[in-house]
Amino acid sequence: MIAMMMEDRLVRDLPEKSEVSLDDKMLVEDIDGTKLAPVSSLRDMVMDKLIFENVEEMKSSSIDCDSFCMTLGYRKAGDGGGAYYKIVYQPTAIDDGGNYLYLHTSDVNRAKLISMDGSITPEQFGAYGDGTHDDSAVIAKCLKTDYETKFVTGKRYLISSPIEIPDKEYVYIDLNGCTLEAPPSAPEYGINGLLKASTESTLDNASLVIKNGCIDMKGSAGSPI
């Protein structure tokens, strides 16, 4: 065990501080030797190298394989699409807009979305949830992942065409107080017209759970779920 001496006392014997401030100093060792640097410099390095405003900024940065990073938004900070990613060697993984993203700086590495609680939001795949932009394709991609799809409370997701339920064992959708909104040109939309199976047997073999939201059929009353 290596113990650093300070004024004839071991560092481990010094009184423990309750908090670490940005003005505190830390020892850093690298090939150039030992350096004394403020804790704030570590924060600045992390903010500069591992935290990005949006997905495009992350994709344009040089990040080493096996590194973890995060975005503050999908298109801009605070738009609800912020996520954690791990840079992985996956040359065969296809960019689906969220689960895997191509990096402009590498042909073989991908940014893989990491969920902390087993769920993802459509915003992390680029959904708007403003009732104006068509979010059909984005939501369909979310359902194909291994994560549960959890929507954002109060938002309205415009669905211009039925969303395909993937052929997998378990599909969980938590509308979380949002509304799936069909366009005026499709008043027949309801739960039966909004979702469709990718194969005839899918809904027989899968466990499909949808809860905590509303389907707005425009011409008639919404259908709460």
Band (pLDDT 50/70/90 cuts) for residue 46 is low
The C-alpha torsion from 93 through 94 and 99 to 100, rounded to 10°, is 70
Output the 3-class SS for 67-121.
Answer: CEEEECCCCCCCCCCCEEEEEEECCCCCCCCCCEEEECCEEEEEEEEECCCCEEC
Instruction: Indicate if the pLDDT at residue 66 is higher than 60.
Output: yes
Q: What are phi and psi of 205, to 5 degrees?
A: -95, -15
Kindly state the percentage of the chain with pLDDT values over 90.
44
Q: 214 near 179, Cβ under 8 Å? A: yes
On the question of pLDDT at 88 being above 50, the answer is yes
Q: How far is CA 120 from CA 10, 23, 201, in A?
A: 47, 37, 26
| Of the listed ranges 115-129, 144-158, 159-173, 184-198, the one predicted with least confidence | 184-198
Q: What is the pLDDT of residue 82?
A: 96
Q: What is the pLDDT of residue 23?
A: 74
Q: What is the dihedral of CA 156, 160, 162, 165, to 10 degrees?
A: -60
More confident residue, 53 or 30: 53
- Over residues 110-122, mean pLDDT: 95
Residue listed under structure tokens 């194909």 = 144
Q: What is the pLDDT of residue 72?
A: 95
pLDDT-based confidence at residue 173 (cuts at 50, 70, 90): confident
pLDDT at 219 over 50: no
The predicted pLDDT at position 211 comes to 73
Confidence of residue 54 (pLDDT cuts 50, 70, 90): very high
How many whole angstroms separate alpha carbon 128 and alpha carbon 112? 21
For the record, the structure tokens of 44 come out as: 């600045």
Q: Is the pLDDT of residue 204 over 80?
A: no
How many other C-beta atoms can be found within 10 angstroms of the C-beta atom of residue 181?
24
Phi/psi of residue 41, nearest 5 degrees: -70, -35
The predicted pLDDT at position 203 comes to: 46
